[in-house]
Amino acid sequence: MTIKSTLSTIALAATLGLAGVAAQAESHSMENPMVGGAEMFADKNIVENAVNSADHTTLVAAVKAAGLVETLSGEGPFTVFAPTNAAFGELADGTVESLLLPENKDQLTKILTCHVVSANAMSDAIMGMVDDDNGKHPVPTVGGCTLQATYDGDTIMLEDERGRMATVTIADVQQSNGVIHVIDKVLLPAM
């Protein structure tokens, strides 16, 4: 093999290598959706991903205050309906600050666990259950709340026990221990 053909082979391999890296990067970003300005990785657990989302700092603080970090880092599977900071901001003034106080840990835990289901429920499965139940499917949560799931087109909605409606704004964010669906309201248990 001549030096010229060796250099051509190296150049071709380098070009293919860069194309492979570009294809791998493109594939990587397509597999990992962005939530709150951060890439969500399917090989990380719910807590490991949530702490990187700028849209979920209030939720992360609440999970820490409720002592649920270890649970939501566990094996699962879990489906978490994750309210954004804006969703928490819609609660009455002072509500979030009050819930984060140590003396309100039980109430905070109840609210947070009403956002968690002990299953890996992707949006197509939720829609299938809604169809099977003629348009509305009860969703029992680990917190003892029952949400009512419906959908319109590709958009899933969840009604809490107070009749408040949350919309899934980003669906099917896969995690190593389940799935996150970003929602635009905080789901509350019955009074």
pLDDT (tens digit, 9 = 90+) per residue, 152-173? 999 999 999 999 999 999 999 9
Give me the helices (H) in 43-90, please: 46-50, 57-65, 69-73, 85-89
Mean pLDDT of the chain: 85
Instruction: Copy the structure tokens of residue 35.
Output: 């939530």
Question: Which bin fits 187, alpha (ψ -120 to 50), beta or left (φ > 0)?
Answer: beta
Query: What's the rounded mean pLDDT across residues 179-190?
Result: 96
Residue 81 pLDDT class (50, 70, 90 cuts):
very high
Residue 92 pLDDT class (50, 70, 90 cuts):
very high
Torsion of CA 106, 139, 155, 129, to 10 degrees: 160
Query: What's the rounded mean pLDDT across residues 60-66?
Result: 94
Whether 11 has a pLDDT exceeding 50, the answer reads no
CA 48 to chain centre: 11
In tens, the pLDDT along 94-113 reads 999 999 999 999 999 999 99
Backbone angles phi, psi at 82, to 5 degrees: -100, 105
Contact 170, 179 (CB under 8 A): no
Residue 144 pLDDT class (50, 70, 90 cuts):
very high
Task: Name, in order, each residue with C-beta under 8 angstroms of 129's C-beta and a sequence gap of 6 or more.
Answer: 137, 149
Q: Given this model, what pLDDT does residue 31 score? A: 67
What count of Cα atoms within 13 Å lies in the side-chain half-sphere of residue 139?
A: 34
Query: What's the rounded mean pLDDT across residues 80-104?
Result: 95
Q: Can you tell me the distance from the alpha carbon of 188 to that of 91, in angstroms, rounded to the nearest whole number?
A: 10
Whether 90 has a pLDDT exceeding 60, the answer reads yes
Lowest mean pLDDT among 11-15, 39-43, 75-79, 104-108: 11-15
Predicted TM-score of the model (pTM)? 0.82
Task: Name, in order, each residue with C-beta under 8 angstroms of 109's C-beta and a sequence gap of 6 or more.
Answer: 66, 67, 68, 143
